[in-house]
Structure 1
């Protein structure tokens, strides 16, 4: 039986779920979804706990008034039911799993007394349902009409009154939970047409303030179901308003799609103060006294702000686009580097804080490695250059211009730090001699006909092996620059690793197989079905060679026994395809990165760690 791989930590915040970043009422924890997982992080100690019960990406999350319950909803495939899960915050256990809606859960809201949960399906479902939290039973439900609804919200002082906001309209609902009936009233908006994106209700349930895609705020009277006024005066927020919240004095906080955070006076609807952050603002979550708030953005950043001055202070950052590679320094497990569509970042393994960011504007980094002496970080870029950076300052150390024609897709340094073997988009493998002042190309090996996906070097720096999308893997003699052996398979090779004793090679690729090869005669010894549903992109092997780890487009991390060829551990958490996996040099952690921009750090199972020590 496959066991679940234990998740140690996550470096990641997608920021794509509107209202997804929530400060728990205890003012000590922040809660946010990351793919299929909910992360509960202690603000001071930065310890993390994980809620894992969804089998697809989480689309919405909410917390009840006292913080006793968390509710989350997911998206799923067309025609299938989308689950809602109610969690107990203290035990982090599933209390209820609710199934009724199809395809997508659009919005969730707890009643003020925490007895009921209202849920709203996406546009394929477009149904409103009220659930009993204690029993998990649906009490009543109703289609919300042909006009797509975007959010549902209970009133602050009633468990029978709700509001839904739509693309072009607002409805007030009154539920009779004893007779299981629900009635609605449309708010009279006159000639005004708006796509409503978010809503907040004042503490007395007299007024509601709604953010619109147009970039303004609409105030309505809830008692009269009537439009009241627009705001702010003579100002529209670019790219629409994504979130809105109320301060204790009645002023409004809004977050816009262009990265604007603004405070708007409730009496005169004028902008009192504002600031810009990186990315579209998707969440504003306030402390209990509303003096401070956290805000999350679509560029995977979290800021801490003073409600009075609106002075965003960066608290958390991570990649927000796909990560292409990951690397540890030679025999050092305290930090690692990742490279992505935008930059190279160096992370502290314990604190999970970013230590260094290296950016080359407008360019994508395909591959990254540490030199064994720790004196430089080498990287391959889509402009065809190899760049080396100093590991503490991040300054450019040297660059090899025109290393490859269309991008450097793979590289590996020798352990004696004298050579780099690189592979390119055009299929060439090149060997570079690295000197103090000069970097000279020793050889250009042109036998692959497709992109070089991976390059590895053996322990004594005598041979290198390259894997290509054209279905060939070639073992090269580094010193004589000749081909030693060639392996062929009808697949696009994605990664290749040496077994530690270097008698065998392990490859994987688009055929979803993990193949063992004999280094002596180049024959395939064994083939394993690595995945049922997607290509395998990544492999890593333990120091003793007894186990290896794989990952790919099925979003699962699998830990295998090398000799038995059996998968014993399974890790689920990624919401995008896994692009690379590395095992830390001390063998205690498996680090995986993927297309969603998140970094997952897994505990290596104790049995495996003990064997490698």
Structure 2
């Protein structure tokens, strides 16, 4: 059985021109790992297109909006798949495989009869497909230079423009003879790495954006270079995306986060503004008064085309997420921590409430104090930091709490102590006073990184899981080891069963093991996954079900007594690092190394 995906927080901003406003002006379409999200702009309701098994590398929508196509990236030596979807039913029409490794660019013809696809640098093929049958119609190699973008002309279904490293080609397809011939555009002495192309509505000329940071205008009838601009100031880090407005002006997104509007006649900048992250996609509304913009830091903005005033509409993590935490018995908000920040989310409307940034540092673990008065976190500079949950203001720092990083932590139920684990294997207990934070005990038995720490209900025992192949149960009153569990694996997660008669662990040997807490003997072993280690475990309040996730990218819900998988949740496109139940037991939340937060509805 499949788990029902309730909502996602995430957007893969690195996909060029990946954020698309549907022609009905009501839906935003964007990739998230291997899933494609269709979100209603006003009501924020989400639906999902799921069919790819690896990261989606490009998306395009036909002019009428009835069909869309997506391509993916796979491993070396494998064929990359293109899927054509019916937008109304959200179901795949055709699945096509001819390209190797990666699909670089896709584009529908004006009459929606043909789809052009360009392979990545390991493939370098241009293929034109017939949309009605899903069959490859004619194909050709584009040469040695890697291609970046391909577009059909606006008024003919057999002419295309492709851009490669330093070459622009105009292609003409002969559908009777099934051949494609090209004309090379004469660029004179110009040497530019060309990244993208837009074609004017009359098909008289095209604009191409370059990595140098300027824009070249090309006459398509003569196949010759006309001029370039802007003359004085180039765009930093290259022109990443272009869009053409109805009045002839050009919108330019640059790699440093600049968004500019250029006059079509002079190619001079009319106005510009800044956004967070390099601009990767621009999508205009039908009336051209506003446009949506996606950045490489996974932010989505809405801008007005006149003044370019940016309004932030959607945010999410753009790097791997290391941990999730809910406050004690409160399901409305949760916190996640990533490579450079901690974010607090409203779990109902999926909006970001607070962002706590510590520049250039990675946050390994995050938690809420039991009284809800602080957010506690462990960082890779070895410091334990606590922040106020409303404002994100720093409350206190425990310096040098662990060498090389704090990798696991948990607060006691009275909020007076924190138990933390470090990169070198120490488990330490900190007493948190009003003004002071002191170390109560340091217990050094583990030889490797401590991945997880759990407390029992009465908070007098703690269990820690380490990558040295041991889990240790500690007595927190005497600060000594009670029992030790050994296995030839790197333990990644440890949990107490709610009745505390058993401990459940998982790790790099792909096994999920039940242990007796009294004598530390293994009672039962389950195969957690066919391939790849299992990183994450969570158990519900009754102890009847638990959830696992790992390198096989599937969230699995198990029956605790029977030891069988009841439900599977498919949607992640890279390793799952953490899963957790919401305190009200209505949702399950999983996070992965692609930076996505998946919220699943529990059956």
Q: Same fold (TM over 0.5)?
A: yes
1:124 and 1:79 map into 2 onto residues whose CA distance is 9
Name the counterpart of 1:290.
288
| Cα shift at 1:58 | 0.6
Aligned pairs for 1:29-108 (under 5 A) are: 29-108=27-106
Aligned pairs for 1:330-369 (under 5 A) are: 330-369=328-367
Name the counterpart of 1:268.
266
Q: Are 2:127 and 1:121 aligned?
A: no
1:406 and 1:128 map into 2 onto residues whose CA distance is 49
Comparing 373-382 with 295-304, greater Cα deviation is found at 373-382
| Cα shift at 1:445 | 0.7
| Cα shift at 1:142 | 1.5
Aligned pairs for 1:289-328 (under 5 A) are: 289-328=287-326
2:193 and 2:120 map into 1 onto residues whose CA distance is 15
| Cα shift at 1:195 | 1.3
1:149 and 1:400 map into 2 onto residues whose CA distance is 52
1:549 and 1:458 map into 2 onto residues whose CA distance is 19
Aligned length: 603
1:38 and 1:465 map into 2 onto residues whose CA distance is 40
1:198 pairs, out of 186, 196, 199, with: 196
Comparing 472-481 with 198-207, greater Cα deviation is found at 472-481
2:121 and 2:396 map into 1 onto residues whose CA distance is 53
| Cα shift at 1:79 | 2.1
Aligned pairs for 1:187-586 (under 5 A) are: 187-586=185-584
1:442 and 1:219 map into 2 onto residues whose CA distance is 70
The answer to whether the 8 A contact 2:53-2:573 is kept is no
1:329 and 1:367 map into 2 onto residues whose CA distance is 14
- Structure 1 counterpart SS, 2:493: strand
2:143 and 2:403 map into 1 onto residues whose CA distance is 56
Name the counterpart of 2:19.
21
Comparing 49-58 with 557-566, greater Cα deviation is found at 557-566
What is the alpha-carbon root mean square deviation over aligned residues? 1.2
2:78 and 2:308 map into 1 onto residues whose CA distance is 43
Aligned pairs for 1:124-163 (under 5 A) are: 124-163=122-161
- Structure 1 counterpart SS, 2:236: coil
Superposed CA offset, 1:431-466 (max 9, x none): 122222332221111111111111100011110001
Name the counterpart of 1:610.
none
1:335 and 1:391 map into 2 onto residues whose CA distance is 11
1:269 and 1:565 map into 2 onto residues whose CA distance is 66
2:10 pairs, out of 9, 12, 16, with: 12
1:183 and 1:70 map into 2 onto residues whose CA distance is 26
1:265 and 1:318 map into 2 onto residues whose CA distance is 33
2:269 and 2:277 map into 1 onto residues whose CA distance is 21
| Cα shift at 1:276 | 1.4
Name the counterpart of 2:597.
599
Superposed CA offset, 1:575-607 (max 9, x none): 221111111111111111111111111112x2x
Superposed CA offset, 1:286-336 (max 9, x none): 001111111111111111111111121111111111111100111111110
2:403 and 2:120 map into 1 onto residues whose CA distance is 47
Extract unaligned runs of 5+ from structure 1: 607-613
| Cα shift at 1:160 | 0.9
- Structure 1 counterpart SS, 2:519: coil
- Structure 1 counterpart SS, 2:302: strand
TM-score of the two chains, using structure 2 as the length reference: 0.98
Name the counterpart of 1:185.
183
Q: Are 2:112 and 1:111 aligned?
A: no
| Cα shift at 1:37 | 0.2
2:122 and 2:389 map into 1 onto residues whose CA distance is 51
| Cα shift at 1:191 | 1.6
2:490 and 2:280 map into 1 onto residues whose CA distance is 39
Name the counterpart of 1:611.
none
| Cα shift at 1:395 | 1.4
- Structure 2 counterpart SS, 1:4: coil
Superposed CA offset, 1:515-559 (max 9, x none): 111101101111112122211111101111111111112222111
Point out 4+ residue stretches in structure 1 off by more than 3 angstroms: none
